Each structure stands twice: as C-alpha cells, then as structure tokens.
Amino acid sequence: MIEHSLHDLGRALATREISSVELTQLHLERIARHNPRLNAYITIDEARSLAQARAADARLASGKGGPLTGIPIAHKDIFCAKGWRTTCGSKMLSNFVSPYDAAVIAGFEAAGAVVLGKTNMDEFAMGSSNETSFYGPVNNPWRAGCVPGGSSGGSAAAVAARLAPAATGTDTGGSIRQPAALCNLTGMKPTYGVVSRYGMIAFASSLDQAGPLARSAADCALLLNAMAGFDERDSTSLNRPAEDYCRELATTSGDKPLSGLKIGLPAEFFGEGCSPEVMALVEAAIAEYRKLGAETVAISLPSMKLSVAAYYVIAPAEASSNLARFDGVRYGHRASQYQDLNDMYSKSRAEGFGAEVKRRILIGTYVLSHGYYDAYYLQAQRIRRLIANDFAEAFRQCDVIMGPTSPSTAFKLGEKAADPVQMYLSDIYTIAVNLAGLPGISIPCGFSGGLPAGLQLIGDYFTETRLLNIAHRYQQASAWHLQRPDGFD
C-alpha cells in the first residue's frame, strides 16, 4: 500500500480492500520505526489520528466518501489544527495547542482525510535546509547527513520515505518546490490567493502560499482540489469559481500529447550558477518534452538577477511585522524571570526565537526604519514589479517556462549554515515566482551521484490545471518519480 497513488488508495478504501484505520496504523507504525533517524515529524497523536480514521471508515460505509476520505495526510507544522500542538518549528510556540483549524486543515477534514501528524520545518518557515528548526534538522531520506531542503523539509522527507502518502507545505520563496527537488517529489506552489492563508502562521504575508507535496502531479491535483477555494476570512483569498484540478489529467498520452505547447527557456536559468550535473538532467527532461510534441523558445527574464536581493528585503520586512505578535503576553514562550514589561518582551523573544529568525527580524526592522524605507524597501517593491512585468512579457511568447528548481542536489547538513548568503542562493530559481505571485511546480527529472534533481515548471496566473497536466504528461513518459530511497521498507 505504501507505493499506491492517492487515486489507488482512494479506490482501495472505497472497495473496502483496506480500511482507513488499517492504512493509518500502517503509516503510524512506519513513523515509529523510521522517524527517529529522519526527524521528519514533530508531533504524532496516534489516538486522535485513529479516531479520525474510524470516522472516515463510517463515512465510507455510508456511501458518503470522496476521493480523499480515509487517506492519512501529514501537515507542515505551520498550519493550526484544532487540538494539535502547532509549533512552527520554534521554541516560541513549543507548547501552543491550536483552538481552531486553518482553512487548509478544514478543507482536508471536509474531504474526510485523516491528520497523520505535524511535520518538522525551518523555524517560522525561515530557511532552505530545515536546519533552523528548534526540534533539530531533518535528514534527507536519500542520503543521511544531507539536507531535505526547506522550509517544508519535514513534509518532503516524510513523503519520500513513505511515512505519509502525501503532505502539505508552504512556499514563500521556494519552500515547497526546493524540498520536492531534493527529495524526488512533486511539489506545487499555486497562484497567490488560490489557497487561503487563514490559520497558516505568517512569515511574509504577500509571499506565503500553501500547496501540496506528493509523489506525482496527479496526486498533487487531487490534494489541490481539497486545498483551494475562496475564504472570506483571508483578505488575500481570491473569489474565483471552484475548479477541478484533475480534469485535464488523461490516462493515455498518445504519440504527441503536448503538440503545440511552447516552452520558454530563460537565458537566466541556463547560465552560470547551476551545477553541470543538474543542468544536464534538466536539459534531458526538456528534450523529452520535445519528443512529446512541445517546442522550445528562447526568452529572457532580465530582472530575475535582482530577485534574491529584493526578496531578502521584502520578506524580512514583512516577517518583522508579523512576528511582533509573539511577545510572551497572550500565548507562546514567556521568560521565567524578568523585571518589568519591556524586560519580559525582550527576554521572551530572545529566548523564544532562533538565530535565523532574529537575523531576519533585525534586517526587516532596519529596512523599514526611517531613512532606509525609501532606499531599500520601496526599491525592492519596484524591482518586484519589474520581475512581474518580465514574466508577463515572457508569457506572450510561451505557454510555460522551464528550468532547474535548485542549483544543486542536496548538500550536507551544516555545509552552508555559517554562510547565510550561500544558503539564500539555494532559492535563486524559485524566489522570482513568489515575488510575481505565479504558480510553479517541481517534478523529479533524474539523479546525480545518487541524489535527486528537480525540473521547475512556471505558468501564468491561474494555470495550475495546465501545469499539472504538463507535469503529468512527462511523468507518464518517465519513471523518475516512482523511485524511492533504500532502507525504508
């Protein structure tokens, strides 16, 4: 069962080939056996998960089940889930039990899915390697001692090692797509506003977006059906007609299923900065797309070279504002000893936040301060507009943009920890997508030295269905996404 797709699991549950309780117990046993060496999960509540599974079985027995009813799903520990400890990978929230469900959690509950557990993550989603978590780093299932990517590294590691059939993540600058690439998964960041941010602990509000992590594009489409939708509680949620993201996924491909598709290849994605081994795998994947009938066109995204600099002004600025609420007064960590209110604020935040979070708060406060706002923050927002304009121009010439997801395969734990700039450059190919608010997806495209690499597909606004179909067509013609790491039988 651990190799079944979500569609196959849904059919097995519907025909009573297996019960939700059995399926959930199977994954709980795998977590107990393998999680100690991966550290992919922060919180497991076996009794609560099995109670949900029993309810799902009753729902299936009554004939009221849906495609996801009874399927256990792991959730990044950034989503509030009623009755579950929700830490956001931080000491600041180490004892916080959420009194309500995030919109994403509620969507899966409405679909009848089971909450399998809460997965490890970079603290407050700030990181590219899952090393900033208060609960320790996550190991990449493909090679011990290597990072799984971040900040959704726990979710990625759990799905890759078959400790969950699928998982949720969030993507602020590549935090779904980069872990997907490093763990041989499919991960999607939808158009900004397609998935509600209600109940998702904020890092950078104009960039954060929830999305699915799974083993295939077809599975991601099924997950996105449960996640997407308008939510009046989120002022950035877009009121659009409901969409079936599975509708273009054909079971047969034909000789040239992508005939007429124009793939844009940005010069900025294919120059220096990417390892030759990863680039060779990406180019081989694009060659396969040509065999499927697509044609490639050269395009340019000239402002993309400024995306990392703009991102690391805008994101810390928004983070410094969002994290001001963690003051030790209403919830979260409070220092045990202090002299007055200001001392309590200072000590609680100093003790509750890790080094990377403090670094970004300091940067954000600086760029928003009087005398620097115009020089840094305002300029970064102007660059953001230039980046969005570049994409708009590119999509006049092509249907989808392709290139590497990450400039390298998984690097060693600690390799970049002492050099924040090198760590930030891990997201060089993904950040521009968030700045522009576009949808993007990473799919497996091969291995270098035993470690997986990812191909990134970027679409115009609200083209998730098309992107998923384009990714699905490649996965019909390849088997990279079916590979799994050794040692997790």
Active-site residue identified among 175, 216, 348, 406: 175
CB contact set of 375 (below 8 Å; sequence gap of 6+):
none
d(CA 76, CA 157) in angstroms, rounded, equals 11
**Angle of helix 464-477 versus helix 276-291 axis, rounded to 10:** 90
Strands (DSSP E) found in 34-135: 41-43, 72-76, 114-119
Residue 65, amino acid:
G
Q: Domain range for residue 273?
A: 1-489
User: Which string of DSSP letters, residue by residue, matches 72-99?
Assistant: EEEEETTB--TTSB--TTSGGGTT-B-S
d(CA 475, CA 462) in angstroms, rounded, equals 22
Domain count, the chain: 1
Closest CA to 185 of 471, 473, 408: 471
Exposed (0-12), middle (13-18) or buried (19+): which is 488, by Cβ within 10 Å?
Answer: middle
**Inter-residue contact 175 to 181 (CB < 8 Å):** no
pTM: 0.97
Q: What is the DSSP letter of 378?
A: I
The reported pLDDT for the residue numbered 395 is 98
CA distances to 257, 290, 354, 458, 473 from 293, in Å: 6, 5, 49, 18, 11
Active-site residue identified among 98, 151, 196, 442: 151
The reported pLDDT for the residue numbered 421 is 83
The reported pLDDT for the residue numbered 379 is 97
d(CA 339, CA 35) in angstroms, rounded, equals 42
How many Cβ atoms sit within 10 Å of the Cβ of residue 394?
A: 18
Element (H, E) at 58: helix 46-61
Please give the angle made by the CA atoms of 421, 426 and 428, to the nearest 5 degrees. Answer: 95
CA torsion through residues 366, 371, 375, 379, sign: positive
Per-residue pLDDT of the chain (489 residues; tens, 9 = 90+): 999 999 999 999 999 999 999 999 999 999 999 999 999 999 999 999 999 999 999 999 999 999 999 999 999 999 999 999 999 999 999 999 999 999 999 999 999 999 999 999 999 999 999 999 999 999 999 999 999 999 999 999 999 999 999 999 999 999 999 999 999 999 999 999 999 999 999 999 999 999 999 999 999 999 999 999 999 999 999 999 999 999 999 766 677 899 999 999 999 999 888 999 999 999 999 999 999 999 999 999 999 999 999 999 999 999 999 999 999 998 899 999 999 999 999 999 999 999 999 999 999 999 999 989 999 999 999 999 999 999 999 999 999 999 999 999 999 999 998 888 889 889 999 999 999 999 999 999 999 999 999 999 999 999 999 999 999 999 999 999 999 999 999
| The two three-digit tokens of residue 169, written as one number | 């993540």
Buried b (16+ CB within 10 A) or exposed e, 447-477: bbeebbbbbbbbbbbbbbbbbbbbbbbbbbe
175 is an active site residue: yes
**Angle of helix 464-477 versus helix 217-227 axis, rounded to 10:** 160
| The two three-digit tokens of residue 278, written as one number | 């990863």
Buried b (16+ CB within 10 A) or exposed e, 262-297: ebbbbebbbeeebeebbbebbbebbebbeebbbebe
For the beta sheet containing 210-214, the strands, ordered from the edge strand earlier in sequence to the opposite edge, are 41-43, 114-119, 72-76, 167-170, 210-214, 186-189, 440-448, 451-458, 400-404, 262-266, 295-299
**Inter-residue contact 168 to 122 (CB < 8 Å):** no
Closest CA to 92 of 433, 431, 350: 350
Closest CA to 455 of 278, 253, 248, 212: 278
152 is an active site residue: no
CA distances to 269, 313, 378 from 375, in Å: 28, 11, 7
Query: In the block, which residue shows the tokens 């992508």?
Result: 258
Active-site residue identified among 76, 118, 189, 416: 76
d(CA 309, CA 9) in angstroms, rounded, equals 44
Residue 237, amino acid:
S
| The two three-digit tokens of residue 417, written as one number | 């920890």
Report the DSSP pairing between strands 451-458 and 262-266.
Answer: unpaired
**Angle of helix 217-227 versus helix 103-111 axis, rounded to 10:** 110
189 is an active site residue: no
CATH number of the domain encompassing residue 488: 3.90.1300.10
Please name every residue paired with 117 in a beta bridge, in sequence order, or none if there are none.
Answer: 74
**Inter-residue contact 128 to 424 (CB < 8 Å):** yes
The reported pLDDT for the residue numbered 414 is 96
The reported pLDDT for the residue numbered 39 is 98
- Residue 247, phi then psi, degrees to nearest 5: -65, -25
